[in-house]
C-alpha cells in the first residue's frame, strides 16, 4: 500500500524524488501534525498558477480538497488568489479573496490584519525567484499575470524581518521549484535540478510529483491523525469522483492542463486515471474497513 509520501511522489518526472532526502522522512505527516496544532481559526490558502491565459488545473483542485478537510476539523479556510481563478471556489462555498495584480505590501498587510490567520498554506502558487522574477517552468516571466500573494508569506513566514508585525506558521506545497515554499530548498534545487528556484521559504515544505497530490496527502493525513472523516468521502462521493467533478467544472469556467495547455480535465499532462490512482491509494490508507 505504501505510505503517504511514497504515494504522492509516484510518477516523479521533475526531480522531486531527488529532493526527498533533504526533507524529514514523514514530511507530509509532519505538515498535517503542524496544522492540527494551529488554533481553530482562519486558515489562509493561496493557489492559482498562470498558464497560457488561464489558471492551471494543478493547485485549485487540491486546495478544494484540503479546504474541505480543514472545515471538517473546525477551521475557517479562506482562499486568496487572483482573477484567473474566479469562479473556481464559489460553487464549493469556500470564502475567496481576489488579490489585485497591482497589490503590494500595503494591501497584503491589510489583508493579514483583517483575516488574522492562524496559519497559511500555499499550494502550487508562483513566488518570486532568486533573480527577482516570477517565472514558469520554461523560464518565461509571468510577473504581469501573477498577483503577489507570495508577499503574504515573506511578511509573515520565516523570511519576515525581526520587526515584522506578523508571525504566522506557513506550509508550502510544490512540484517543480518555482512555487512558494521552495525557498526552503533553494540551493539544493539550483544545484540538483538546474532551475532558478523560488526564494520564498515556508516553515514546512511538502513536495509531490503534482502539487494537487501533496494537498490530497495532507488531507488524508489530517483524517488519519485526527480520526475524523474529513477526506475519504466528500459530499457523498469518493475523493476521486469529487476531484474529477471539480476539475471538469474548472475547465468549463476557464482552466488548462499546466503541461499540455489544453482545456481538458487533466492535470500536468497525466490522464484522469492517474489522478484517480493517487486518490484511491490515499483513500485506502484511511478507508473504513
CATH number at residue 147: 3.90.1640.20
Domain assignment of residue 272, yes or no: no
**Is residue 76 a contact partner of residue 41, using CB atoms and an 8 Å limit?**
yes
What contacts 53, CB < 8 A, 6 or more positions away?
256
Q: Which domain range does residue 200 map to? A: 4-231
Q: How far apart are CA 65 and CA 45, in angstroms?
A: 12
- What does the pLDDT look like over 126-149, one tens digit per residue? 999 999 999 998 899 999 999 999
What contacts 72, CB < 8 A, 6 or more positions away?
228, 229, 230
Domain assignment of residue 125, yes or no: yes
- CA distances to 95, 185, 210, 242, 244 from 61, in Å: 15, 25, 11, 9, 9
What was the pLDDT predicted at 141? 96
Domain assignment of residue 287, yes or no: no
Task: Quote the DSSP letter at residue 5.
Answer: H
- CA distances to 41, 155, 165, 182 from 162, in Å: 25, 10, 9, 22
Domain assignment of residue 47, yes or no: yes
On the question of pLDDT at 1 being above 80, the answer is no
- What does the pLDDT look like over 177-188, one tens digit per residue? 999 999 999 999
Residues 221, 11, 279, 24, Cα dihedral to 10° = 0
Domain assignment of residue 141, yes or no: yes
Q: What is the mean pLDDT of the chain?
A: 95
Task: Determine if the pTM surpasses 0.95.
Answer: yes
What was the pLDDT predicted at 44? 98
What was the pLDDT predicted at 164? 83
On the question of pLDDT at 150 being above 90, the answer is yes
**How many domains is the chain partitioned into structurally?**
1
Domain assignment of residue 260, yes or no: no
Mark 80-104 as b/e (b = at least 16 C-beta within 10 Å).
bbbebbeebbeebebebebbeeebe
What average pLDDT score do residues 94-122 get? Answer: 97
Band (pLDDT 50/70/90 cuts) for residue 234 is confident
On the question of pLDDT at 275 being above 70, the answer is yes
What was the pLDDT predicted at 289? 58
- What does the pLDDT look like over 57-92, one tens digit per residue? 999 999 999 999 999 999 999 999 999 999 999 999
- What does the pLDDT look like over 9-60, one tens digit per residue? 999 988 899 999 999 999 999 999 999 999 999 999 999 999 999 999 999 9
Task: Quote the DSSP letter at residue 103.
Answer: -
Domain assignment of residue 50, yes or no: yes
Domain assignment of residue 77, yes or no: yes
What was the pLDDT predicted at 23? 97
Amino acid at each position: 500500500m505504501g505510505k503517504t509520501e511514497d504515494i504522492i511522489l509516484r510518477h516523479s518526472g521533475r526531480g522531486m524524488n531527488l529532493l526527498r532526502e533533504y526533507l524529514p522522512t514523514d514530511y507530509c505527516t509532519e505538515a498535517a501534525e503542524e496544522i492540527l496544532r494551529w488554533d481553530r481559526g482562519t486558515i489562509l490558502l493561496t493557489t492559482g498558477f498562470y498558464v497560457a491565459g488561464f489558471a492551471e488545473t494543478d493547485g485549485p483542485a487540491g486546495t478544494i480538497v484540503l479546504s474541505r478537510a480543514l472545515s471538517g476539523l473546525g477551521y475557517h479556510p479562506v482562499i486568496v488568489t487572483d482573477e484567473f481563478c474566479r469562479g473556481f471556489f464559489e460553487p464549493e462555498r469556500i470564502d475567496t479573496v481576489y488579490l489585485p495584480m497591482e497589490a503590494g505590501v500595503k494591501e497584503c498587510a491589510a489583508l493579514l490584519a483583517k483575516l488574522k490567520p492562524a496559519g497559511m498554506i500555499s499550494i502550487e502558487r508562483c513566488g518570486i525567484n532568486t533573480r527577482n522574477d516570477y517565472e514558469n517552468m520554461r523560464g518565461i516571466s509571468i510577473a504581469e499575470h501573477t498577483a503577489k500573494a507570495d508577499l503574504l508569506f515573506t511578511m509573515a513566514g520565516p523570511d519576515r524581518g525581526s520587526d515584522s508585525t506578523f508571525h504566522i506558521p506557513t506550509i508550502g506545497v510544490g512540484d517543480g521549484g518555482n512555487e512558494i515554499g521552495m525557498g526552503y530548498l533553494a540551493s539544493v534545487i539550483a544545484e540538483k535540478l538546474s532551475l532558478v528556484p523560488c526564494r520564498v521559504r515556508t516553515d514546512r515544505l511538502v513536495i509531490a510529483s503534482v502539487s494537487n497530490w501533496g494537498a490530497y496527502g495532507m488531507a488524508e493525513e489530517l483524517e488519519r491523525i485526527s480520526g475524523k472523516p474529513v477526506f475519504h468521502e466528500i459530499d457523498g462521493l469518493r475523493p476521486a469522483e469529487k476531484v474529477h467533478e471539480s476539475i471538469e467544472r474548472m475547465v468549463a469556467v476557464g482552466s488548462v492542463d499546466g503541461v499540455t495547455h489544453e482545456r481538458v480535465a487533466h492535470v500536468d499532462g497525466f490522464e484522469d486515471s492517474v489522478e484517480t490512482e493517487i486518490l484511491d491509494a490515499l483513500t485506502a490508507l484511511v478507508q473504513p474497513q
